[in-house]
Amino acid sequence: MLPYFLTPGIEADLARFDHLARRFDVLATLPRTWSGHVRRDLEAQAIGASVALEGVPVTVDDVRRILAGDRPASVSQGDASLVEGYRDAMRLVLRRADDPNYAWTAEIFRSIHERVMVQSWASRAGLLRERQNRLYFPPPTEEVPHLLDDLAAWLTQASSYPPVLVRAALAHVMTAAIHPFADGNGRTARIVASLVMYRGGLRHPQFTSLEEWWGQHSDEYYEAFACLGPQWDESADVTPFVAAHVSAQKRQAEALSLRHGAEQLLWTVLEDIAIHDLGAKPRVVNALWEAFFGREVTNRYYRGLADVPQVTASQDLKQLQTSGLLAPEGGGRSRAYRGTVALIRRVVEAAGLQVDVRGAAVPDEDLRAEVVAALAARIQGANC
């Protein structure tokens, strides 16, 4: 294991994260449908950020539709497969993490990589590299098997100390330093870190993945690896990476805890609008939620969210169009719906927010962000 030190800064970030995690555990929960949307959104954002770090040209909205079985025409099947492969790798992690007989072995690294690389023979999915890397020089290929065994053994022994966030950071940087595969090492290392956090008791999706944060702070992410140097060095001090990893985890937890409260309130408001104002079925909140955030809602996408047949989906979307909250785009099988200014206005009025929407012709990202910020401010005020 590469050497590291628990500095005062790292310990302060660990204490702050523990406080946020305990506070999150006692928050009241809303219906499972809303929780499902939170998980889907976080999954899409995490996957989108991770594959983007590797140069795959997809947006988070693209990822969201791919995962719902509605691949946009602008996304190639190959890129969609990489998205699905990453999803499958994360789901493998969750299944393995819940196994009471789970044990860390070198095979878990290969299994994750196999799914990350979409089981591609050409990409040597699940197979250890046979040659050196040209940019960063990792340990020789003949040392990789026993180094993975050593890492797995350490993760087994370090089940309670150091703290789980530190274990995740070390697993991340060690996997990257060993560089066991010809390609896909970054994605594999990030998923391994998520598995460590999940095995360590952090079961909320808000706390088990740093993908979205790293995607938004890619320069910071790559700079954190500078402590490894240009080549494998078993004496390299990785404290800077651990500090960056723990700090990112703390900052993401702060941001997502506030976002969680704001979006929880938004779901309640949309549910009131759907049921009490429109007299609609609760399931249409799925469409209103997506439309509020400016996402394209197709019949097929909505069917996957609400688990309804095509005819029912058409009726629901037509009702929302008639109400003026959704507007159609295109026709026939390519028809899609987007949220209108009326939807934003209805949310502002129902929530009693001080947001001026009178001059808006179309709902844009700034207007939506202003509404969510107003909801977040209300949550912050309630917590003071």
| CATH code of the domain containing 74 | 1.10.3290.10
User: What is the separation of C-alpha 13 from the centre of its chain, rounded to a whole number of angstroms?
Assistant: 21
Q: Is 93 exposed, middle or buried (0-12, 13-18, 19+ CB in 10 A)?
A: buried
What is the reported pLDDT for 283? 94
Q: Please answer whether residues 319 and 284 qualify as being in contact, where contact means their C-beta atoms are separated by less than 8 angstroms.
A: yes
Query: Quick one: CA torsion of 322, 328, 330, 334, rounded to 10 degrees?
Result: -90
Among 205, 208, 262, which Cα is nearest to 381's?
A: 262
266 is a domain residue = yes
Q: Are residues 26 and 68 in the same domain?
A: yes
Peptide bond into 57 cis (omega under 30): no
- What would the mean pLDDT of 360-376 be, rounded to a whole number? 84
Q: What angle do CA 91, 249, 136 make, to 5 degrees?
A: 80
Query: Quick one: CA torsion of 98, 104, 107, 108, rounded to 10 degrees?
Result: 40
More confident residue, 158 or 149: 149
- Count of structural domains, the chain: 2
361 is a domain residue = yes
Show Cβ contacts of residue 47 under 8 Å, excluding neighbours closer than 6 positions: 63, 67, 83, 86, 87, 90, 211
Q: Are residues 109 and 188 in the same domain?
A: yes
Residue type, 275: I
Q: Torsions phi, psi of 131, nearest 5?
A: -145, 170
Show Cβ contacts of residue 261 under 8 Å, excluding neighbours closer than 6 positions: 27, 376, 379, 383
3 is a domain residue = no
Q: Are residues 160 and 276 in the same domain?
A: no
Q: Are residues 220 and 154 in the same domain?
A: yes
Q: Are residues 228 and 336 in the same domain?
A: no
Residue with structure tokens 């697993």? 171
Furthest C-alpha separation in the chain: 67
**In the predicted model, is pLDDT for residue 375 greater than 80?**
yes
379 is a domain residue = yes
**How many residues appear in the chain?**
384
**In the predicted model, is pLDDT for residue 36 greater than 60?**
no
Q: Are residues 188 and 286 in the same domain?
A: no
**In the predicted model, is pLDDT for residue 37 greater than 70?**
no
Spatial distance between the Cα atoms of 301 and 315, rounded to a whole number of angstroms: 14
Q: Give residue 330's domain range.
A: 259-383
Q: Are residues 351 and 240 in the same domain?
A: no
Residue 38 confidence class, pLDDT cut points 50, 70, 90: low
2 is a domain residue = no
Residue with structure tokens 């910071």? 220
Tens digit of each residue's pLDDT (9 = 90 or more) over 97-123: 777 788 899 999 999 999 998 888 878
Helices vs. strands in the chain: H and E counts, helices first: 16, 3
Query: Quick one: CA torsion of 268, 203, 3, 112, rounded to 10 degrees?
Result: -110
More confident residue, 244 or 198: 244
β-partners of residue 337 are: 297, 328
- Of 55-59, 137-141, 377-381, the one with minimum mean pLDDT is 377-381
Average pLDDT of the residues of the chain: 87
What is the reported pLDDT for 103? 86
- Of 47-61, 104-118, 301-315, 336-350, the one with minimum mean pLDDT is 47-61
The CB density around residue 113, as the number of other CB atoms within 10 Å, is 29
Q: Please answer whether residues 347 and 273 qualify as being in contact, where contact means their C-beta atoms are separated by less than 8 angstroms.
A: yes
- What would the mean pLDDT of 257-285 be, rounded to a whole number? 90
C-alpha count within 13 angstroms, C-beta hemisphere, residue 158:
20
The region that residue 249 occupies, defined by phi over 0 for left and psi between -120 and 50 for alpha, beta otherwise, is: alpha
99 is a domain residue = yes
27 is a domain residue = yes
Among 348, 379, 342, which Cα is nearest to 363's?
A: 342
From 254, 280, 314, the end of a domain falls on 254
- What would the mean pLDDT of 13-29 be, rounded to a whole number? 72
β-partners of residue 336 are: 298, 329
Spatial distance between the Cα atoms of 125 and 237, rounded to a whole number of angstroms: 31
Q: Are residues 170 and 79 in the same domain?
A: yes
Q: Are residues 267 and 363 in the same domain?
A: yes
- Of 21-25, 129-133, 142-146, 189-193, the one with minimum mean pLDDT is 21-25
Residue 330 confidence class, pLDDT cut points 50, 70, 90: confident
Spatial distance between the Cα atoms of 302 and 286, rounded to a whole number of angstroms: 7
| CB neighbour burial string for 163-186, b if at least 16 within 10 angstroms, e if fewer | bbbbbbbbbbbbbbbbbbbbbbbb
What is the reported pLDDT for 42? 73
Q: Are residues 226 and 301 in the same domain?
A: no
What is the reported pLDDT for 34? 45
From 196, 231, 254, the end of a domain falls on 254
What is the reported pLDDT for 153? 94
Residue 212 confidence class, pLDDT cut points 50, 70, 90: confident
From 231, 254, 277, the end of a domain falls on 254
Residue with structure tokens 């509605």? 70
Q: Are residues 275 and 198 in the same domain?
A: no
1 is a domain residue = no
What is the reported pLDDT for 362? 74
Q: What angle do CA 198, 199, 200 make, to 5 degrees?
A: 90
CATH number at residue 336: 1.10.10.10
The CB density around residue 68, as the number of other CB atoms within 10 Å, is 17
Q: Are residues 273 and 244 in the same domain?
A: no
What is the reported pLDDT for 207? 66
β-partners of residue 339 are: 326
- Of 50-54, 87-91, 256-260, the one with minimum mean pLDDT is 256-260
**In the predicted model, is pLDDT for residue 235 greater than 90?**
yes
What is the reported pLDDT for 298? 93
Q: Please answer whether residues 50 and 44 qualify as being in contact, where contact means their C-beta atoms are separated by less than 8 angstroms.
A: no
Tens digit of each residue's pLDDT (9 = 90 or more) over 277-297: 999 999 999 999 999 999 899
